[in-house]
Amino acid sequence: MPVTDEDAALTAIATLEYLSTEQAEALDAINKTLSNDEPSVDIHELFGHYNVLYFRHLLVPRVEVIWSPRLTLCAGICELSKDPTTGKFTRIRLKMSTPLLQYREKSDTINTLLHEAIHAYFFITTSWRHSRGDDGTGHGVGFQLLADAINNHGNYEITIYHTFHDEVESYRTHVWQCNGPCRNIPPYFGLVKRSMNRPPGKSDTWWARHETECGGTYTKIQEPAPTKKQIEAMSKKERAGRQKNKLDGWVKMEKGTGAEGKTSENPIELDKDRTSVIKSNGKRKAKTIAVDGFVKSHTVNLKRSRATVERTMYGSTVLVEKVLVDCPICSARIAESEINEHLDLVHPA
């Protein structure tokens, strides 16, 4: 009769009642590792000790433990390797997620390691039937029995599922939105989020049902910024297409205005005073007041008034601004720049 998960669990639990010398030494080594102040642990060293203490020396060397930088949907997985010639499972690999565990407390790493080690133990002891256990997920009665026994023995917190939702969500940066009816249906609202750039398609188990019930098309609406390696692999044209126009950052447009020119809706009245800027050969600007070519008589009562004179410079005509002031002696209207000369010549001391 084949061994079940429950049978294998009870056998392992029985070894914890009276520890052997090797188990006691492994326990001491584990306690030293857990009591130090290091923020991380050596999972390979710990795995060797747990193999002796909890798993009856059955995991090493058949089980390989590695860190995986690409594992982002769960903290750890127990992966089976199949011999391509015989089609039989021959090796087990425990993958620990670098992205999800590297910044968490070391207790999370240890609990994840033990969780996956339990799966590996059952695969070995049940002749690979563990994945087809009583609950279909491998977390049936046998798993729960052994997990509870290890938790009680070493004060661990092995759970059935790894619940690192925030970390998992942070890596699901490729997002597609469906334009069909399902975009209005909770809880997903037509969104598919993934950590890798794999668009929704026929390889998804739910795709056929989606085609029948919704029929919408998925469009990618979000993706992470390319890595340095990806940018270097781009052609010059592709890189140029990703660059932002720097002028957009230099030019600040006022709200409600555009880049196009604007003209006044008011007509120009030539018989009235007006202010303008006239450019001469791109070299000179002068702010002027045109008063029909001369100063009007009603400006005599002003202390300071403005007049314009016509002057030729650089082969073109410009209007140059002059400020008029009252002579303190004769009250004549004299250009401010000429008042001193007027006093010297007309009113000598």
Catalytic center residues: 116
Nearest Cα to Cα of residue 95 among 73, 65, 128, 119: 65
Starting at the edge strand found earlier in the chain, the sheet holding 316-326 runs 304-313, 316-326, 333-335
CA distance 260 to 239: 30
Q: Where are the alpha helices (DSSP H) in the chain?
A: 5-14, 21-35, 43-53, 98-101, 106-125, 141-154, 165-171, 207-213, 228-233, 236-242, 246-250, 339-346
For residue 191, give the H/E element and its range.
Answer: strand 191-194
Tokens of 295: 């100063």
| Dist CA 308 CA 340 (whole Å) | 19
Reported as half-sphere exposure (CB side, CA atoms, 13 A), residue 313 has a value of 15
Closest listed residue to residue 42, CA positions, set 101, 95, 97, 110: 110
Helix/strand number for the chain, H first, E second? 12, 11
Q: Which residue shows structure tokens 């002796």?
A: 52
- CA-nearest of 286, 294, 276, 342 to 314 is 286
Helices 5-14 and 141-154: angle between axes, nearest 10 degrees: 20
